[in-house]
Chains A and B, each alone.
Chain A
């Protein structure tokens, strides 16, 4: 592993260090309690019968045999439970005022709209009995035609929801022109244009922990606790209150140890609502755990877009206009933020490039009879980055210049930051040339190009390809007013409390909800740095709405640039209060005090000092506080960020493609991600590693494969190719550090960066390897068969007589 530039460290040396994680001992020893590990006496186990049809009318359901089985407490159909729903399941992002959103309830009543749609539930004494019983339920369906193809769906030939009269949920447009007609004029006057079509296949997020839910009611007191494997306990609490009519103040939501999310647990799910509703109805705990095969159909999927992108460029290759037409697969229903996912990408189709005001984007969200889509790592931004980065390579081929050179000609330059983009959004900071230079040095760009020239000769069956991708990520969701302008139904703030206990230990309460990101460690480091204490003396409390009542949770690479910054601000606020107590007790003026190394000192009188611990105890006893000052040493902050954070970077991938088998061997992968100041570089690198492999997996292995009837053919981990260690390369990491000027820590998000940069880098590399054979595009995932077919069909179109040494002249 290569670290080309060590991130900034602060004076205490805590921030910027590779502190080992506090989270690890419980996870390494089996002590951690995931939702399905909870022991809940008396809990009934719920199992759900799911539709085997993608589209069908429910004619009849016979539950009598199931209900008669020993150990079965109850069997319910959708009709039995219809009165429990105060409102349909929530979609919090109505992207347009006229967006169509068919009512969606946790269990179907008349019609099923995807394989996996729930039709009946069983409550039984054990999980095994519950699953036995759902097999005994007899449902009569009247099958309807499935709608699985996006372009077919757009034609309205078969309507998913006939009552809507169309399969189009919405059309969302963003036209930015300096003057009317600027986009068309740019295309008319362009020296070069490219027109590309890309398919973002559906992906199954596959967090290693499937979902699990336990709802524990207090029948007489009225309180209810919902334990669930979620990224969003706070948002979920509000949504459960709204959809079930549960008084919010009597509802507590806890996310215990959560085994990964990747956006798929950023949702409000039918099973969560069912467990709560049935626990309340029966006055007994109800639990459910998802099998992996259920997970592939009943948990949201990601991506699912067809992208048409056109670039116009002048004679130097400088971009003059971009036009994007997107068709986005909503699936059968709109889940929590389904319609907004492609819109998150709408602002990034110009990538890291200096585009004039000549941008024409439109997106149509379309219903199909497939599992709903929603946020999956990157959520709209990997798709956008893929389209611009693939089409930049196409443009470089069109012009006949090196793709990295084309990018350099278009980079927003360092002196242009903060940079107001054509969309009106302001990119906080960046140095794209620097990141690209670090990456090209690490992969030895010039030497690789020279190797290609000698290796990719006529008749060669092992062709080298070098792929480049540069990206900007819009993350750290987000300024609440900006979210309002996008019709998003929630704010983007984050809350933090820092509480100094009488014995000088510190509790931090955060509204973020980690599930692998290491917030307990990183937030402790921020606090330790601010307060001059040992990170081991800090405990971070989270993911329980009774302990951390305020929060907006973890998604969109927001936790550090919003939640972590809030923690730092709460430290500052608590220091200010402590300073008043210190000044009072030391009989000094507040203005004469400084706080260094965990002590208040009188400036110029080094002998006079008080440690923070002494102030904490004084604040606790409250015997001698300044007049009017409240006892105890704690401060709470709710921080609404002034801007998104804009991490960026360059990825490069070197592949060798066997033209006889279509096999792609990734020889080297370099990722340079600039996320501003790094609190813990070890954790940052871990996020990048995992992100890169998830994007590489989209490029090479993964895809939710449906047949024409809407049956998922990749419905288990035996069929859906989550890569194993033997399928992926080691990763070379480089960093540049360009602090964000918009927050006090200078940090940016990093959770999604790797995924955003990697799929286009890998695919550009494969196409680069084969472009000498006439290959211009390969669909994802680039399986050996797909690659081999692309070579074969290119050879048919363009006889294999090219003397071009590799993709790139």
Chain B
């Protein structure tokens, strides 16, 4: 490789910190059936709000580019990546997180049960997001083909399972529903 001269640096975004943050905003969000009211910085992401203000840490953070889907949860009944939503945008919404999926008596949600029975998880880090995305997928398409499941979950990355048993889990949950 021919390369003369000194290196140029990785691009870095320069901004003057904390001057543009704005005043905290009060929001009220219903999470797993319980209303929560907090003052949040306008820049707070929904996932940060859920983890740091509401205190529910089942929703994981796996990236900073809205690529991995580990933070997927249900916002007004639909799966969203909670890192792509500002907490202030979620004001007045109904949120369901992974903590709200199993019954209080310990009975797993059918999708959770399907993941367990089909070994659809290994390390479990992508799992909450995967379960939330998969349940939303079946709401839209209760009887998907294997290919529809694969395409429907393409926003959620898993590094352990090779997706084989995740796809199997979702198909099993679909046929259990049928």
Chain A residues in the interface with B (C-beta under 8 A): 20-21, 23-34, 36-37, 39, 52-56, 69, 115, 128, 132-133, 135-136, 141, 143-146, 148-149, 152, 206-210, 257-260, 262, 291-293, 515-518, 682-683, 685-686, 689-694, 708-712, 715-718, 722, 724-728, 730-731, 754
Q: Are B65 and A718 in contact (CB under 8 A)?
A: yes
**Can you name 10 extra interface pairs (CB under 8 A) apart from A128-B43, A724-B154?**
A28-B98, A28-B102, A28-B108, A34-B60, A135-B17, A208-B126, A260-B123, A690-B159, A711-B8, A731-B164
23 A-B pairs with CB atoms under 8 Å apart are A24-B124, A27-B124, A28-B124, A29-B108, A52-B11, A135-B14, A143-B7, A207-B125, A207-B159, A208-B68, A208-B158, A259-B126, A515-B123, A690-B159, A690-B161, A692-B162, A709-B8, A709-B9, A724-B153, A724-B154, A724-B156, A724-B157, A728-B163
Asked whether, in the complex, the Cβ of B6 is within 8 Å of the Cβ of A143, the reply is yes
Most chain A CB atoms below 10 A, which of B58, B59, B151: B58
CB contacts (< 8 Å) of A257 on chain B: these are: 124
Among residues of B, the one whose C-beta sits closest to the C-beta of A515 is B123
Given A29-B101, A689-B164, the answer on whether A726 and B7 have CB atoms closer than 8 Å is: no
Chain A residues within 8 Å of B8, by CB: 143, 709, 711
Proximity string of chain B (79-100) to chain A, C-beta cutoff 8 Å, 1 when within and 0 when not:
0000000000000000001110
Contacts of B102 in A (CB 8 A): 28-29
B116 touches A209 (CB 8 A): no
**B116 A152 Cβ-Cβ under 8 A:** no
Q: Is the CB of B5 within 8 A of A145?
A: yes
Complex Cα gap A210–B151 (Å)? 25
* Nearest B residue to A18, CB-CB: B119
- Residues of B close to A208: CB separation below 8 A: 60, 62, 68, 70, 123, 125-126, 157-160
Q: Are A516 and B157 in contact (CB under 8 A)?
A: no
Contacts of B112 in A (CB 8 A): 28-29
Q: Are B17 and A21 in contact (CB-based, < 8 A)? A: no
| Given A28-B115, A30-B98, A689-B164: A292 touches B7 (CB 8 Å cut-off) | no
Question: Is the C-beta of B131 less than 8 angstroms from some C-beta in chain A?
Answer: yes
Whether, in the assembled complex, B122 has its beta carbon less than 8 Å from a beta carbon of chain A, the answer is yes
Query: Which of B55, B123, B161 lies at the interface centre, i.e. has the most chain A CB atoms within 10 A of its CB?
Result: B123
Known: A24-B115, A34-B60. A133 touches B17 (CB 8 A): yes
Contact B124 A516 (CB under 8 A): yes
Known: A29-B101, A690-B159, A724-B154. A20 touches B1 (CB 8 A): no
Q: Mark B1-28, 1 if CB is under 8 A from A, else 0.
A: 1010111111110110110000000000
> A65 → chain B, closest Cβ, in Å?
9
- Residue contact A686 to B119, C-beta cutoff 8 Å: yes
Minimum Cβ distance to chain B for residue A264 (Å): 10
Residue of A nearest to B18 (CB): A132
Known: A21-B116, A708-B1, A709-B8. A209 touches B62 (CB 8 A): yes
> A546 to chain B: closest CB distance in Å?
23
Give the shortest distance, in Å, between B41 (CB) and chain A (any CB): 7
User: Within the assembled complex, what's the spacing in Å between the Cα atoms of A518 and B161?
Assistant: 13
The residue from B1, B64, B155, B156 contacting A716, defined by CB atoms under 8 A apart: B64
A128 to B125, CA, bound (A): 23
Which residue of A207, A716, A731 is within 8 Å of B65 (Cβ)?
A716
Q: Is B149 close to A, CB under 8 A?
A: yes
B60 to chain A, nearest CB (A): 7
Closest to A686 in B: B119
Q: Give A257 to B156 CA distance when docked, in angstroms.
A: 20
The closest CB in chain B to the CB of A260 belongs to B123
A146, A149, A726: most-surrounded residue (chain B CB, <10 A): A726
Contact of A711 among B9, B15, B60, B121 (CB under 8 A): B9
Q: A128-B41, A682-B119, A722-B157 are in contact. Are A30 and B97 (CB under 8 A)?
A: yes
Tell me, in angstroms, the Cα distance from A37 to B54 when the chains sit together.
13
Contact B122 A690 (CB under 8 A): yes
Count of A-B contacts with CB under 8 A?
A: 229
Nearest chain B CB to A170 CB, angstrom units: 23
> Within 8 Å of chain A (Cβ to Cβ): is B56?
yes
Specify the chain A residue showing the minimal Cβ separation from B115: A28
- CB contact list, B103-127 vs A, under 8 A: 108, 112, 115-117, 119, 121-127
Q: Which residues of B contact A144 (CB under 8 A)?
A: 6-7
Q: Is B31 an interface residue (CB 8 A)?
A: no
Residue of A nearest to B118 (CB): A682
Complex Cα distance A612/B119, Å?
32
Across the interface, do A518 and B117 meet the contact criterion of CB distance under 8 Å? no
Given A148-B1, A716-B65, A717-B67, does the pair A21, B119 have CB atoms closer than 8 Å? yes
Are the C-beta atoms of A731 and B162 separated by less than 8 Å?
yes
**A725 touching B10 in the complex, CB below 8 Å, given contacts A128-B41, A208-B68, A260-B123:** no
Tell me the minimal C-beta distance from A562 to chain B in angstroms. Answer: 20
Give, as a whole number of angstroms, the nearest-CB distance from A707 to chain B: 9
Q: Which residues of A contact B1 (CB under 8 A)?
A: 148-149, 152, 708
Query: With an 8 A cutoff between CB atoms, is B174 at the interface?
Result: no
Contact of B116 among A20, A148, A726 (CB under 8 A): A20
B119 cross-chain contacts in A, Cβ below 8 A = 20-21, 682-683, 685-686
Q: Do A690 and B58 have beta carbons less than 8 Å apart?
A: no
Contacts of A715 in B (CB 8 A): 10
| Residues of the B chain whose Cβ atoms lie less than 8 Å from the Cβ of A55 | 7
CB distance from A259 to the nearest CB of B (A): 3
User: Which of B14, B17, B97, B127 counts the most A-chain CB atoms under 10 A from its CB?
Assistant: B17
Shortest distance from the beta carbon of A722 to any chain B beta carbon, whole Å: 5
CA distance A722 to B65 in the complex (A): 13
Find out whether the CB atom of B159 lies under 8 angstroms from the CB atom of A722: yes
A719 nearest in chain B by CB position: B65
Set B5, B10, B60, B146: member contacting A209, Cβ < 8 A: B60
User: Which residues of the other chain, B, contact A146 by a CB distance below 8 angstroms?
Assistant: 3, 7
Quote the shortest CB–CB distance from B138 to chain A (angstroms).
Answer: 15
Any chain A CB within 8 A of the CB of B46?
no
Q: A518-B122, A717-B63 are in contact. Are A30 and B128 (CB under 8 A)?
A: yes
Residues on A with C-beta less than 8 A from B163 are 689, 693, 724-725, 728
- In the complex formed, the residue of A with least CB distance to B128 is A30
Q: Is B167 an interface residue (CB 8 A)?
A: yes
Task: State in angstroms the CA–CA spacing of A259 and B163 once bound together.
Answer: 16
